[in-house]
Amino acid sequence: MTRKRTVEDWIAVLSMALLCVITMGNVLVRYFSDQSFAWTEEISVFLLVVMTMAGAAAAAARDNHVRIEYFLERGSAGRRRFLALGGALVTTIFFLVLAALTADMVWDDYRYNETSSGLNVPRWWYTVWVPVLSLAIAFRAGQVWRHLIKTR
How far apart are the C-alpha atoms of 63 and 152, rounded to whole Å?
15
- Residue 117 is predicted with a pLDDT of 87
What are the per-10-residue average pLDDT scores of the chain (152 residues)? 78 96 92 86 94 94 80 83 91 97 98 93 96 97 94 74
Output phi, psi for 36, to 5 deg: -145, 160
77 by Cβ neighbours in 10 Å (0-12 / 13-18 / 19+) ranks as exposed
Of 13, 4, 88, nearest in space to 51 by CA: 13
Q: Give the residue extent of every domain in the chain.
A: 7-151
- Residue 152 is predicted with a pLDDT of 60
pTM over 0.85: yes
DSSP letter at 75 equals S
How far apart are the C-alpha atoms of 103 and 13, rounded to whole Å?
25
How far apart are the C-alpha atoms of 22 and 41, rounded to whole Å?
9
Number of Cβ within 10 Å of residue 18's Cβ equals: 16
Helices (H), the chain: 7-33, 39-61, 69-73, 77-111, 124-127, 129-151
- Residue 1 is predicted with a pLDDT of 41
